[in-house]
Structure 1
Amino acid sequence: MESMQNANSEKHYKVLVIAIAIGITGVFIRFAGDENSTYFSWIANLLLILGVFIGLKAIFKIIS
């Protein structure tokens, strides 16, 4: 039963919401930024990778 309580823990889903928000921000910056600016591209890629990493980490904590 402890595994089920861990999976239903509210903190996992808060982290998922934050990860999704970070990823969506990265996607927004990619399309809203200047096409010729490499800085927007770098920032967008980093935010997207960070959001995916945090999201996968939270998902694997829920699964385990």
Structure 2
Amino acid sequence: MNSMENANAEGHYKLLVVAIVIGLFGCFFRFAGDAAVYSWVSNIAIVVGTIIALKGVFAILGKQ
């Protein structure tokens, strides 16, 4: 039952929501303008959001 409680922990899903918001920010910021800075910021935001999302998913899967 311990793995089920770990999978249903509220903190994991809050982390996923934060990751999705960061990823969406990066996706929408990509269309903010044609400057190279916008492209760099959006790429960094998407990568950070992806890393956080993977961390959340692997935390849900957890050790058994």
Q: Tell me the distance in 2 between the aligned counterparts of 1:21 and 1:8.
A: 21
Q: Residue 25 of structure 2 corresponds to which residue in structure 1? A: 25
CA-to-partner distance for each residue in 1:5-34, whole Å, 9 max, x for gaps?
A: 000000000000000000000000001x21
Query: Is 1:39 aligned to residue 43 of structure 2?
Result: no
Equivalent residue in structure 1 for 2:56, among 55, 58, 62: 58
Give the AA of the match of 2:3.
S
Structure 1: gaps (5+ residues): none
Give the 3-state SS of the residue equivalent to 1:53 in structure 2.
Answer: helix
Q: How many residue pairs were aligned?
A: 62
List alignment gaps of at least 5 residues for structure 2. none
Q: Percent identity over the alignment?
A: 47
More helix by share: 1
TM-score (norm: length of structure 1):
0.94
Structure 2 CA distance, aligned partners of 1:18 and 1:34?
24
Note the C-alpha offset of 1:62: 0.3
Whole-Å Cα distance in 2 between the matches of residues 15 and 44 of structure 1? 20
Q: Give SS of 1:34's match.
A: coil
- Counterpart of 1:49 in structure 2 is 47
The CA distance in 1 between the partners of 2:21 and 2:8, in whole Å, is 21
Runs of 4+ in 1 over 4 A off after TM superposition: none
1:8 aligns with 2:2: no
